[in-house]
Structure 1
Amino acid sequence: MPGNTRRMQKKSLTIAQREATCRPNGGICIYHVSSMLRSVLGEERSGDKERRKPKFNKRCLIYHKDNKQCIHENLRLHFCYVSNINSWWMQPDLVLFTGDLGNENVELVRSIADLRFPKAVILGNHDAWTTTKFSVMYGVHNMAGSANKIYGAAVGAPEDHCLVLLAHNGPTGLGSNIFDICGRDWVSGGGDHGDPDLARAISQLKETRKLPVPLVVFGHMHKELAHGNGLRKMVVVGDDNTIYLNGANVPRVKRLYSKQGTSSISSLPLSTPNSEGSLRAFTLVEIVNGQLEKIAETWVSVTEDKATIEEEHILFSCGPSVSELSL
């Protein structure tokens, strides 16, 4: 049921990480991040290293800190896009970075590589404007060669695993209006800006190997359209039930600040004086027994050592959501 929006009661949650295995040829992992180093990593405070990894029941993914009880015990797979990757209020099973980490910001990429949780990263156009060519790094010279690379990586996934495709940009065929998930919004008349190599690889996987693709994750195309034309469609359910998810919610970090006794939300830089913390966007995905159950855009306020859920916008749901469970 796309489009359901919920204002959540403020509660502090901790998501305990279940043991999971990432495989080179079929690992599932998500993130779309800001291009600002501090926006992505935040500033580590003294003592964070000692308190950042609470020990909880590893079969449980949502843990209420106040009453020390697990909310539910069924095995779920959680992964997300998130801007503040140092915050331990939430620990997903897998994290996917969809690229555009910075404008060829090598130090930022190194920092992400050092993060100690299951993750997968794909680079975007901002990560290699001039210094790298696909033909040199990967031997890719055309769209057909690129499609074969994608197909070859995905086809190695074990049959009993849930296959999620990670890309920087989405595939062609999902619409050509400016508000479509990969629609051109910067030119008059719109157009389909999806990648034909990804579309071809997905088609090959489904036709030749009968391999289901429940989720395709990407970024690149910003949610807020150019020239003030509104918002982009961020989730599409295909005819064969493949779900396409765009996580490029930009900016992902908004500064909370006070001015003359009032509180406001702004997209000002993180160094703004009188700051009272930040509001950060997460895109959370739940997969249960290989079936995608929920996609939610979640806004979290981060002030000092406290992270609080402020809003949850349900983008897709086919079952009871975590927010509907009694805490």
Structure 2
Amino acid sequence: MTSQKKQSKTLKIAVVGDIHDQWEVDDAIALKSLGVDLVLFVGDFGNESVEVVKAIASIDIPKAAIMGNHDAWYTATEWGRKKCPYDRSQEDWVQEQLDLLGAAHVGYSKLEFPEWNLTVVGGRPFSWGGPEWRFADICKERYGVTDMEESAAKITAAVKSAAGDAVIFLGHNGPSGLGDRPEDPCGKDWHPIGGDFGDPDFAEAISQTINLGKTIPLVTFGHMHHTLRHTKKVLRTSVFRSPEGTIYLNAASVPRIVENDGQKQRNFSIVNLEAGVVTQAALVWVGQDLQVISEEILYELSPSKL
């Protein structure tokens, strides 16, 4: 009976967009104040920022996270290794982050939340985005994955073992197929302008999940910031709703902490899930007194579709 009650109530999910070292004690307090049931982190905590990840790992709210490209900044590429601020023969900051997160890191894996009949499945960790196979060394060395096809299969394998009827996908970058305009959720907004910079392996895994008969209420990610590089006249589109009813949410409102008149404000994306369906998604800003000072409704389900 208790399980049924939990499943029938609104599940309040916070999605934390690209942090880029902007994480403070007040962020954890704000999450408590918002009364969220589950927190999803889309990665890019910083440039291998072990201290930020340590703070996030200590949050005592159910959570899942995925690593972004910046989380392997000094490890995944030759140019990054040349700039590495630590001795890589003595330390491994990527592994330190993964160890801190433990089971909460869902890259190429999953985390079960049986109380909500829900499984969070992670996409490819450390994704740079786009159709090219980037960060090849780290994918091969740590996960034994050498191309997009193997990557899609590894994500899908996690889905096949999922216990929940509903699957929430958590990626650093979003899937391909959400549009090729620069302002689309994963659109290319640098020269040359335009093109779909979503991850093809992520899209393939989502497609296979639909074929398996799983419900996908939410696919959330970041990486492509809401502010566009080529224009300040428009912002990136945050939400896309598929014909199947899946909500695709880009949560990367960067910088996520700003200061106005000496007062700090921090943003979170808040998603309400009812009976396996997203009923609302909003970008909220929390002030220093932990009160919501603004709320932008990004998506709301019409009552007729409930």
Q: Same fold (TM over 0.5)?
A: yes
Match of 1:226 in 2: 229
| Aligned 1:41-56 pairs, distance under 5 A | 41-42=24-25
Runs of 4+ in 1 over 3 A off after TM superposition: none
Could you tell me which amino acid in structure 2 is paired with residue 42 of structure 1? Answer: V
* 1:126 paired to 2:70: yes
Could you tell me which amino acid in structure 2 is paired with residue 135 of structure 1? Answer: K
C-alpha change, 1:29 and 1:204, in structure 2 (3 Å) is farther
What stretches of structure 1 of length at least 5 have no aligned partner? 1-17, 21-27, 44-83, 258-274, 321-327
Shift of 1:316: 0.7
Q: SS at the partner of 1:187?
A: coil
1:109 to 35, 41, 53: 53
Shift of 1:19: 7.3
Q: SS at the partner of 2:16?
A: coil
Match of 2:254 in 1: 250
State how far apart, in whole Å, the 2-side matches of 1:92 and 1:252 are: 18
Shift of 1:232: 0.6
1:166 to 152, 167, 170: 170
Match of 1:325 in 2: none
- The answer on whether the counterparts of 2:168 and 2:217 sit within 8 Å (CA) in structure 1 is yes
2:273 to 280, 287, 292: 287
Q: SS at the partner of 1:213?
A: strand
State how far apart, in whole Å, the 2-side matches of 1:252 and 1:129 are: 20
Could you tell me which amino acid in structure 2 is paired with residue 317 of structure 1? Answer: E
State how far apart, in whole Å, the 2-side matches of 1:111 and 1:280 are: 16
Q: TM-score, normalised by structure 2?
A: 0.71
2:201 to 182, 197, 203: 197
State how far apart, in whole Å, the 1-side matches of 2:290 and 2:176 are: 38
State how far apart, in whole Å, the 2-side matches of 1:282 and 1:29 are: 6
C-alpha change, 1:311 and 1:29, in structure 2 (3 Å) is closer
Shift of 1:292: 0.9
Q: SS at the partner of 2:154?
A: helix
| Aligned 1:135-284 pairs, distance under 5 A | 135-159=140-164, 161-207=165-211, 209-229=212-232, 230-257=234-261, 275=262, 277-284=263-270
* 1:86 paired to 2:29: yes
Mean CA deviation greater in 85-94 or 233-242 = 85-94
Shift of 1:89: 1.6
Higher normalized contact order (CA 8 Å, seq sep 6+, divided by chain length): 1
- The answer on whether the counterparts of 1:29 and 1:120 sit within 8 Å (CA) in structure 2 is no
| The structure with more radius of gyration | 1
State how far apart, in whole Å, the 2-side matches of 1:312 and 1:122 are: 26
- The answer on whether the counterparts of 2:210 and 2:216 sit within 8 Å (CA) in structure 1 is yes
- The number of residue pairs the alignment matches comes to 231
Shift of 1:120: 0.6
State how far apart, in whole Å, the 2-side matches of 1:294 and 1:149 are: 30
* 1:30 paired to 2:15: yes
State how far apart, in whole Å, the 1-side matches of 2:54 and 2:255 are: 22
- Alpha-carbon displacement from aligned partner over 1:15-35 (angstroms, at most 9, x marks no partner): xxx979xxxxxxx88322421
Q: Percent identity?
A: 41
- Alpha-carbon displacement from aligned partner over 1:69-103 (angstroms, at most 9, x marks no partner): xxxxxxxxxxxxxxx23323223110000000001
Aligned residues: CA RMSD: 2.0
Could you tell me which amino acid in structure 1 is paired with residue 71 of structure 2? Answer: D
State how far apart, in whole Å, the 2-side matches of 1:299 and 1:99 are: 19
Q: SS at the partner of 1:310?
A: strand
- The answer on whether the counterparts of 1:103 and 1:128 sit within 8 Å (CA) in structure 2 is yes
State how far apart, in whole Å, the 1-side matches of 2:276 and 2:220 are: 16
State how far apart, in whole Å, the 1-side matches of 2:52 and 2:204 are: 32
Shift of 1:239: 1.9
Shift of 1:155: 2.2
What stretches of structure 2 of length at least 5 have no aligned partner? 8-12, 77-137
Q: SS at the partner of 2:54?
A: helix
Match of 2:44 in 1: 100
Q: SS at the partner of 1:201?
A: helix
Shift of 1:40: 0.9
State how far apart, in whole Å, the 1-side matches of 2:69 and 2:51 are: 17
Shift of 1:225: 0.4
